[in-house]
Amino acid sequence: MIDVESANRAAVERMTSSRPMLIGVEKASSVVPGLSGRVLLHAGPPLPWARMSGPLRGAIIGAAIYEGWAKDAAEAASLAERGEIAFDSCHHHGAVGPMAGVISPSMAVYVVEDRAHGGRSFSNLNEGYGKVLRYGAYSSEVLERLRWMNETMAPVLAAALDRAGGIDVKALVAEALHMGDEGHNRNKAGSLLYLKLLAPHLGPVSPGAAVAAEVARFIGDNALSVLNPVMAACKAMADAAHGVEGSTLVSTMARNGTDFGIRVSGLGGRWFTGPSAVPEGLYFAGFSGADANPDIGDSTITETAGIGAFAMAAAPAIVTFVGGRSADARAATLEMYEITVAEHPSFTIPALGFRGTPVGIDLRKVVELGVTPRVNTGIAHREAGVGQIGAGLVRPPIELFEQALEAFAERYGFAGG
Amino acid sequence: MIDVESANRAAVERMTSSRPMLIGVEKASSVVPGLSGRVLLHAGPPLPWARMSGPLRGAIIGAAIYEGWAKDAAEAASLAERGEIAFDSCHHHGAVGPMAGVISPSMAVYVVEDRAHGGRSFSNLNEGYGKVLRYGAYSSEVLERLRWMNETMAPVLAAALDRAGGIDVKALVAEALHMGDEGHNRNKAGSLLYLKLLAPHLGPVSPGAAVAAEVARFIGDNALSVLNPVMAACKAMADAAHGVEGSTLVSTMARNGTDFGIRVSGLGGRWFTGPSAVPEGLYFAGFSGADANPDIGDSTITETAGIGAFAMAAAPAIVTFVGGRSADARAATLEMYEITVAEHPSFTIPALGFRGTPVGIDLRKVVELGVTPRVNTGIAHREAGVGQIGAGLVRPPIELFEQALEAFAERYGFAGG
């Protein structure tokens, strides 16, 4: 009989001992496996165009125009409808992207290497706030920013990272958790640490002081700059824990704006999916829950790896963007200890006496206690072309975990008691 | 009869409404009133060479060599002994300096302007950790760093601040308190915010990318970079509250390594002094309390203005440098509400439900409750030339507050009931 406890210990040990280094920035088609031709990757479990929500469609339209496959939204939508653009889940290509998570072949991606277990993971570059592709906006302003990011900023970041000898993302996250970040919705400190590590290299590698200054300002002014490298690092940690025979550890949580999907370490590549919920949270002026799209994005990889909502006790100031009182932030972390198998040896929370964050979601505990993982998230407008309208909190439906536990019982002949 | 309550409300309102802007970096002799010729300013209340402790003497020796008044330590000490160098308290010149706090005429100083009440304040540039002048070290390495800071870095900072249109230090501190800083011993987030605001300007104003890179690295790698501008800002806030007739608010707390001194809003320029204590804290490897100098520095201006130890609940990670458990950090802030007259409208603590920091120390409450202000501090070796050996916590002696309250009773004809 398989020993689920040991398998989960092995899996979480692989997750927490992963050592993700940010080693570069490259053109997606040259490093992301299988990303060539008219292929677009997106967040969450795979789904066809017909089932995609507004913001995901918006991001796909933007990417198709950006790639020069279509001249406008109508043409892009028509290509997508006729099956002339292939879609796949980022997660199938070692990649993760926040919100719509659309990665097209000519976009630049961060490259993270796991120095402990091998393996590489990828994420796109963060665009900042407001009207941005990842929230489904695709106006000319959005595409111009993408062009500047990919053509001007990306080579500077690549050369600066190279000159810096890479960045230890795990060390950066550990420090940021001592500075009021939770690593998902709040990456203020992490983004400044990222700027600090890059800043001495920007001038020497840039084509002139003006470009170095623009990059420093773009990275420094965007409190989510480091979210994407952090997500790629969490993907590396989660992937390290994936594929452990007999383990009930959740190794993926991701949403595509229609479905919430999870995968389980001991159950291979199979997705368990169910309807994605609308987050509860704070809306920007002029918007309400009626405008909100169901939850979207791969950024739940942070909670999968033991940060984000799981580390909220480290980030009481986050309630100013996601709602609630600062005591709720502490309660969120305390609750997540109930459904996880370990306390993170590297990610600690000063306000809890330096206790490690809850890490390694055990499917069995989720089902047994009826406590689903907490997720912090941004909120996209439900229509293509609008963008972000708020931020809040959400949970995956319990059905996903019930389905997965049934599949585990079938695969291993028992439910892992 | 004078209304002490109203006077204190007026004084603390002036303190918390002060709006300190960091507007420039200038040569001390050109902006600090009365700093010309062979004059050195130092931290804390005034005292003669004969009573100065090792680290203050060390910093004075270093400054005298730096200024070219002496060729070595023996000659510098001899000049000081013979009265050929005049000494005065930084506070008498609108200035504050951490630890020894020595400011010499040719050193660069930060210039802060209070946009709400007028008035200017000054502080020197932060040298980083370890063997540094402010801890009494004066080796050639220390003096070379000072030379680079004053001759190469200072003009770049001056031009960058000018190009940035100044920096709102109050907004910076408010944000840093939401990022795990307390603004005195822990200025990690604040220093990164400072770097972020400077970074886009360094390239365009520097004589070449290499200098811009060196400055970015020096500011970014020193988690106390922003301490000195923050101290100058706190000096501006404290000065705004000084001189209110009938107020028992403490408007200065400062130590010179021999004496701890305080001044009171309603009692003019008079210092009340008593012996400075040795801090309790964590020592670097190879050092202990037996090596420690009594507490030194003007950095207690942070506690005077409602941050530092008063804001420790915002900075639970600080216990890794000052000792204790993270719950102690929370308790420190809660205790300080007992001896203060207000909660700061701009400096809030997420972990306490965004309660304002305790601000405005009331002499009467200190004496009545027997609760002295808490202070976070660095620890200097007791001998000249060594440097920092740890960090910890200290309190001023209660006698200072008793003396001041007596003086208040004499001056106003009653003790302010």
Query: B303: distance to nearest CA of chain A, Å?
Result: 21
What are residue B116's phi and psi, to 5 degrees? -90, -45
Please list every residue in chain B whose beta carbon sits closer than 8 Å to the beta carbon of residue A187: none
Structure tokens at A134: 């990842």
Distance from CA of A408 to the nearest CA of B (A): 41
**Collapsed DSSP state (helix, strand, coil) of residue A404:** helix
Number of A–B residue contacts, CB under 8 Å: 120
Question: Under an 8 A CB cutoff, do A212 and B212 touch?
Answer: yes
Q: How far apart are CA B228 and CA B154, in angstroms?
A: 13
Please, how many CA atoms are within 13 Å of residue B19, restricted to the half-sphere of its CB? 6
Say which residues have a Cβ less than 8 Å from residue B3's Cβ, sequence separation at least 6: B246
Q: What angle do CA B110, B254, B53 make, to 5 degrees?
A: 100
| Mean pLDDT in residue range B130-156 | 96
Residue in B195, B196, B326 closest to A353 by CB: B326
* Residue B372 one-letter amino acid: T
pLDDT mean over B154-180? 98
Question: Measuring CA to CA, how many Å separate A128 from each of A24, A74, A80, A106, A132?
Answer: 20, 26, 27, 19, 7
Q: A172: which chain B residues are within 8 Å (Cβ-Cβ)?
A: none
Task: Give the integer Cα–Cα distance in Å for A193 and B220.
Answer: 9
> What's the mean per-residue pLDDT of chain B?
96
Of B212, B327, B353, the CB nearest to A326: B353
**Helix H or strand E segment including A44:** none
Shortest alpha-carbon distance between residue B226 and chain A (Å)? 14
pTM of the model: 0.95
Residues of B in contact with A174 (CB under 8 A): none
Please report the pLDDT score of residue B197 as a whole number: 98
A330: nearest CA partner in chain B: B351
For residue B417, pLDDT over 60 is answered with no
A200 vs B contacts (CB less than 8 Å): 213-214, 216-217, 220
- The pLDDT tens digits for B24-33 are 999 999 999 9
For B180, nearest residue in chain A (alpha carbons): A179
Terminal CA-to-CA distance of chain B, rounded, Å?
A: 11
Helix (H) or strand (E) holding B140: helix B140-148
Helices (H), A227-281: 227-241
pLDDT tens by residue, A34-68:
998 999 999 999 999 999 999 999 999 999 999 99
What parts of chain A have a pLDDT lower than 50?
417
Interchain CB distance below 8 Å, B206 and A209: yes
Q: What pLDDT was estimated at residue B1?
A: 73
For A210, the closest chain B residue by CA position comes to B204
Of A178, A195, A354, the CB nearest to B195: A195
User: Three-state DSSP class for B343?
Assistant: strand
* Neighbour tally for A320: CB within 10 Å: 15
- Cβ B200–A214 below 8 Å, yes or no? yes
pLDDT value, residue A323: 84
User: Pick from A199, A203, A352: which is nearest to B195 by CB?
Assistant: A199
Show the tokens assigned to A390: 């708020």
User: What's the rounded Cα separation, in Å, for the pair B227 and A124?
Assistant: 36
The answer to whether the Cβ–Cβ distance between A204 and B196 falls below 8 Å is no
Say whether B37 sits in a helix, a strand or coil: coil
Contact A199 B216 (CB under 8 A): yes
pLDDT at B116: 98
Model pLDDT, residue A416: 52
Nearest CB to B193; choose among A192, A206, A317: A192
What residues in A contact B188, CB-CB < 8 Å? 179
For A247-278, the pLDDT digits (tens) are 999 999 999 999 999 999 999 999 999 999 99
Chain A's closest residue to B215, CA to CA, is A200
Phi, psi (degrees; rounded to nearest 5) at B379? -120, 125
Residues 6+ apart with CB under 8 A from A403: A272, A274
Alpha-carbon gap: B416 to the closest alpha carbon of chain A (Å): 38
**Cβ within 8 Å of residue A382, ≥6 positions away:** A53, A54, A55, A291, A292, A293
Quickly tell me which residue has 């770049």 as its tokens. Answer: B156
Inter-chain CB proximity B180 and A350 less than 8 Å: yes
Distance CA B239, CA B305 (A): 10
Query: Which helix (H) or strand (E) is A114 found in, with range?
Result: strand A108-114
Q: Which of B191, B192, B217 to mutate to test the interface with A (most CBs of A within 10 A)?
A: B192
Tens-digit pLDDT profile for residues B6-49: 999 999 999 999 999 999 999 999 999 999 899 999 999 999 99
To the nearest 10 degrees (0 to 180), the angle between helices B227-241 and B169-177 is 110
Among B178-182, B326-330, B390-394, the range with the most confident prediction by mean pLDDT is B178-182
Q: A-chain residues within 8 Å CB-CB of B317? A: 178-179, 350
pLDDT for residue A158: 98
Nearest CA in chain B to A348: B317
Domains of chain B: 18-230 (3.90.1710.10), 243-412 (3.90.1700.10)
CA angle (B226 as vertex; B353, B182 as ends), nearest 5: 25
Chain-chain contact of A220 with B196 (C-beta, under 8 angstroms):
yes
Which residues sit opposite B110 in a β-bridge? Answer: B25, B123
* Count of Cβ atoms closer than 10 Å to residue A288 Cβ: 10
**Residue of B212, B325, B353 with shortest CB distance to A353:** B325
Query: Are A221 and B196 within 8 A, CB to CB?
Result: yes
pLDDT in tens, A274-317: 999 999 999 999 999 999 999 999 999 999 999 999 999 999 99
Residues of A with CB under 8 A from a CB of B: 178-181, 188-189, 192-193, 195-197, 199-204, 206, 209-210, 212-214, 216-217, 220-221, 316-317, 319, 325-327, 350-354
B220 vs A206: CB contact, 8 Å cut-off?
no
Among chain A residues, CA nearest to B221? A196
Question: Out of B178, B212, B327, whose CB is closest to A203?
Answer: B212
Q: Between vectors from CA B81 to CA B75 and to CA B85, what angle results, nearest 5°?
A: 80
Give the mutation candidate from A156, A175, A179 for the B interface (greatest B CB count, under 10 A). Answer: A179
pLDDT grade for B415, boundaries at 50, 70 and 90: low
Residue A229 CA to residue B273 CA, distance in Å, equals 53
User: Which SS3 state, helix, strand or coil, does residue A90 take?
Assistant: helix
Residue pair A7/A247 in contact (Cβ under 8 Å)? The answer is: yes
d(CA B58, CA B70): 13
Handedness of CA A171, A176, A179, A183 (dihedral sign): negative
Cβ within 8 Å, pair B213-A201: yes
Q: How many CB atoms neighbour CB A286 within 10 A?
A: 7
CA distances from B412 to B245, B263, B286, B416 (A): 9, 16, 51, 8
Q: Closest chain A residue to B216 measured between Cα atoms?
A: A200
Question: What is the tens place of the pLDDT at every residue in B196-224?
Answer: 999 999 999 999 999 999 999 999 999 99
Query: What is the per-residue pLDDT for A112?
Result: 98
Q: How many angstroms separate the Cα of A169 from the Cα of each of A23, A218, B32?
A: 10, 20, 44
Strands B95-96 and B120-124 turn out to be parallel
Which of chain A's residues have a Cβ under 8 Å away from the Cβ of B192? 189, 192-193, 195-196
pLDDT of residue A413: 87
pLDDT at residue A372, rounded to an integer: 98
Task: Burial-class residue B148 by CB neighbours within 10 Å (0-12, 13-18, 19+).
Answer: middle
Cβ distance B221 to A196 less than 8 Å, yes or no, reads yes
Q: Chain A closest CA to B325's CA: distance in Å?
A: 7
Which chain B residue shows the shortest CA-CA distance from A215? B200
Phi/psi of residue A299, nearest 5 degrees: -70, -10
Residue among A71, A120, A126 nearest A103 (CA):
A126
For A144, other C-beta atoms within 10 Å of its C-beta total 11
For residue B326, what is the nearest residue in chain A, using CA coordinates? Answer: A353
Comparing CB atoms, the residue among B192, B201, B220 nearest residue A200 is B220
Q: What is the pLDDT of residues B268-324, one digit of tens each?
A: 999 999 999 999 999 999 999 999 999 999 999 999 999 999 999 999 999 888 888
